[in-house]
Amino acid sequence: MDTTIHDVIIIGGGPAGLTAGIYAQRSKLAAVLIEKMAPGGQVLSTNWVDNYPGFPEGIAGFELSERMRQQAERFGLPIVADEITGFSLEGPHKVIQGVERPYRARAVIVASGAIWKKLGVPGEERLTGRGVSYCATCDGPFYQDLEVAVVGGGDSAVQEAVYLTRFAKKIYLIHRRDQLRACRTLQEKALTHPKIELLWNRVVESIEGADQVEALKVKDVSGLEVETLPLQGAFIYVGIQPNTDWLQGTLHLDAQGFIPTDDRMATKVPGVFAAGDVRKKMVRQISTAVGDAATALLAAEHYLENL
Ligand code: NAP
């Protein structure tokens, strides 16, 4: 049995986790990053990143993730593939239970990110992977010259609707209000694009189709009008939910499951910090995830020095 006690364990390999890893290695801490999938996080499924400084022409989400991973590995960060299922704070060290084995550390940085929320309408689960998608970057090319819908009105929905114009011949952008939540630049792109039709004040009632998506039933929020839109793809972008199920009962979470921290990214448990989308905060951007992580790691280092 491996009884190594790390200085710091970083949970999650998105921009926050990888940044914490870079800072940990540069501080010569004994660190390990644990990620259940490929490092990169949600940015991997973001087609294009236009607002991360240092890339004047923008950069593909996949490439940005890959560069962060390479930078962390250049400093020698060990990256382990495992899924964390539990967390014990009893005893002198934090014990993190993985599917493969337990890990021990003096400090922990939780950077486990968030996943796309489901819409929760009939047909969504059954037709996922058969026309229902949460990743335009992955599935967009299958919709060449077809008609699709994007559901949501935030940055993700609008950004991915614009991306889908490369393939689909028509994109319905379905939003439950009469105003988009997305930033102005994205709004302008969507509102002026000839392939995008905004359907305001509409909610999806159901996703229809035998083996593949064939139509969306869409209701006016006043509840008076229901229409059926024949189309082949439905991309759902109605927000995110934090990856914190495994923390229930051990760490204080807010009503949505996000982790509250102070301005040092410290949770209520000494030695446990949170960074990135999993943290309760106002702005979720790659740049804010990176900033959280630098703060969290330096605060963790300070905590370790004072143990
Ligand atoms: P979000 O900002 O929470 O937006 C979710 C959208 O879905 C909102 O427009 C919301 O409507 C709508 N919605 C929620 N539940 C719904 C339901 N049940 N039925 C229909 N519509 C529903 O989520 P996001 O767009 O995924 O963004 C998440 C975070 O990542 C944000 O902080 C965002 O700024 C950031 N992000 C940034 C970029 C960028 O900078 N380029 C790109 C992607 C994401 P209401 O508006 O009515 O609430």
Q: Does residue 127 sit within a domain? A: no
Residue 261: which domain range? 5-116+240-305
Q: Whose CA is closest to 43, among 23, 20, 69, 22? A: 69
Alpha carbons 80 and 34: distance in angstroms, whole number: 5
Spell 217-232 as b/e; 16+ CB within 10 A means b.
Answer: bbbeeeeeeeeebebb
> For position 137, what pLDDT does the model report?
86
Q: What is the pLDDT of residues 193-202, one digit of tens each?
A: 999 999 999 9
Q: Does residue 124 sit within a domain? A: no
Last residue of a domain, one of 236, 269, 294: 236
Q: Are residues 36 and 96 in the same domain?
A: yes
> For position 89, what pLDDT does the model report?
76
Q: Is 138 a catalytic residue?
A: yes
Ligand 1 pocket list (CB less than 6 A):
51, 119, 151-157, 159, 176-177, 181, 203, 237-240, 284-285
Taking the CA of residue 119 as reference, the ligand 1 atom at the shortest distance is: 18
Q: Are residues 84 and 153 in the same domain?
A: no
Alpha carbons 180 and 173: distance in angstroms, whole number: 10
Ligand 1 test: best mutation among 135, 156, 173, most atoms within 8 Å of CB?
A: 156
Find the CATH number of the domain harbouring 61. 3.50.50.60
> For position 91, what pLDDT does the model report?
67
Q: Are residues 18 and 152 in the same domain?
A: no
Q: Are residues 210 and 271 in the same domain?
A: no
Name the residue with tokens 């996703």.
207
Q: Does residue 79 sit within a domain? A: yes
pTM of the prediction? 0.88
Q: Are residues 195 and 207 in the same domain?
A: yes
> For position 41, what pLDDT does the model report?
84
Q: Does residue 103 sit within a domain? A: yes
Last residue of a domain, one of 236, 255, 277: 236
Determine contact, residues 158/151, Cβ cutoff 8 Å.
no
Q: Are residues 245 and 287 in the same domain?
A: yes
**Cα-to-centroid distance, 277 and ligand 1 (Å):** 13
pLDDT in tens, the chain (307 residues): 778 999 999 999 999 999 999 999 999 999 999 999 888 888 887 888 889 999 999 999 999 999 999 999 999 999 999 999 998 876 678 999 999 999 999 999 999 999 999 999 999 999 999 999 999 988 999 999 999 999 999 999 999 999 999 999 999 999 999 999 999 999 999 999 999 999 999 999 999 999 999 999 999 998 889 999 999 999 999 999 999 999 988 999 999 999 999 999 999 999 999 999 999 999 999 999 999 999 999 999 999 999 8
Q: Are residues 70 and 159 in the same domain?
A: no
> For position 189, what pLDDT does the model report?
97
Catalytic residue among 50, 138, 245, 254: 138
Last residue of a domain, one of 236, 255, 289: 236
Q: Does residue 101 sit within a domain? A: yes
Alpha carbons 215 and 207: distance in angstroms, whole number: 6
Q: What is the pLDDT of residues 108-130, one digit of tens each?
A: 999 999 999 999 999 999 999 99
Number of domains observed in the structure of the chain: 2
Q: What is the pLDDT of residues 6-63, one digit of tens each?
A: 999 999 999 999 999 999 999 999 999 999 988 888 888 788 888 999 999 999 999 9
Q: What is the DSSP letter of 128?
A: B
**Cα-to-centroid distance, 203 and ligand 1 (Å):** 15
